[in-house]
Structure 1
């Protein structure tokens, strides 16, 4: 016969499992960012700028739960996502912060304005509403590629500055 306290623990096990399953990640939407601690998935810089961050949520290959990646700049998220084979899957969520108030908004329906000082210098700020000088997601994506091509902000354009060392 089971000792009474141990028997009660076994009776509570289903309740603990149920509560554990109900807590945590809801499986959709952006997650909380640990500012000044989380790092960008693409460039490994710390996420500090609350007005220009991005997140991508996708279903892992095992299909059991979603994964969230975080980015310090909309441009990093665009370039990273475009390299993923599942980028166009219907369950992929793309979130950016509104540059005016830091709230998370859907990146594909957001409007983008240029001239912003952003962590990786792609220069785009997201907002919910359209304005005379704003562009949609497709144009913002093209803007990121133009900036990347022109300036290659991740340093690839600096290869010519590397001084070869003399060989012995």
Structure 2
């Protein structure tokens, strides 16, 4: 085998190994995987275990992800930490029906469920999925969580 062929084969193997080992860059704007019952809420330090209430907050300047067990914890964390990037943050929340990640700022919230930290807000991508009770938007969730303030 010539040196060129050997070098080509080596480079092809290295490129293939890099693809299989996860060296590909991921889009920082997308939510990260939650390691259920192992990842801890950034604010209350409880294990994140309820699959339809998890929250992933992304800092748009550092691209760092912060995980929470309840939308209430995420909102109060912003207030308590006095973060200057809060309005620009990307906030993902799990949909209460499908369990898929959705944009928390565009979601609709029911107010009558029992949530991990007791704030009672469950997110839905579609307003109709939120049920027949009271349905509110993200801004109203923020107002109510801050008013509760625990």
TM-score range, shorter-chain basis? 0.7 to 0.9
Aligned to 2:53: 52
Counterpart mapping for 1:72-91 below 5 A: 72-82=69-79, 83-89=82-88
Deviation of 1:135 (Å): 0.6
SS at match of 1:59: coil
Q: Which of the numbers 102, 109, 128 marks the counterpart of 1:112?
A: 109
Compare CA radii of gyration and give the structure with the larger one. Answer: 1
What are the superposed Cα offsets for residues 45-86 of structure 1, whole Å, 9 maximum, x if unpaired? Answer: 00000111111012354xxxx211100000011111343111
Tell me, yes or no, if the aligned pair for 2:60 and 2:90 is still in contact at 8 Å: no
- Are positions 1:141 and 2:142 aligned together? yes
TM-score by length of 2: 0.78
> Structure 2 CA distance, aligned partners of 1:14 and 1:60?
33
Structure 1 ranges of 4+ moved more than 3 A: 6-22
What are the superposed Cα offsets for residues 70-129 of structure 1, whole Å, 9 maximum, x if unpaired? Answer: 00000011111343111123xx21011111221111000000110111111111000111
- Are positions 1:95 and 2:92 aligned together? yes
Could you tell me which runs of 5 or more consecutive residues in structure 2 were left unpaired when the two chains were aligned: none
Deviation of 1:140 (Å): 0.8
Moved more, 36-45 or 23-32: 23-32
Q: CA RMSD in A?
A: 2.9
- Are positions 1:28 and 2:29 aligned together? yes
Tell me, yes or no, if the aligned pair for 2:108 and 2:137 is still in contact at 8 Å: yes
SS at match of 2:37: coil
SS at match of 1:88: helix
TM-score by length of 1: 0.71
> Structure 2 CA distance, aligned partners of 1:16 and 1:87?
40
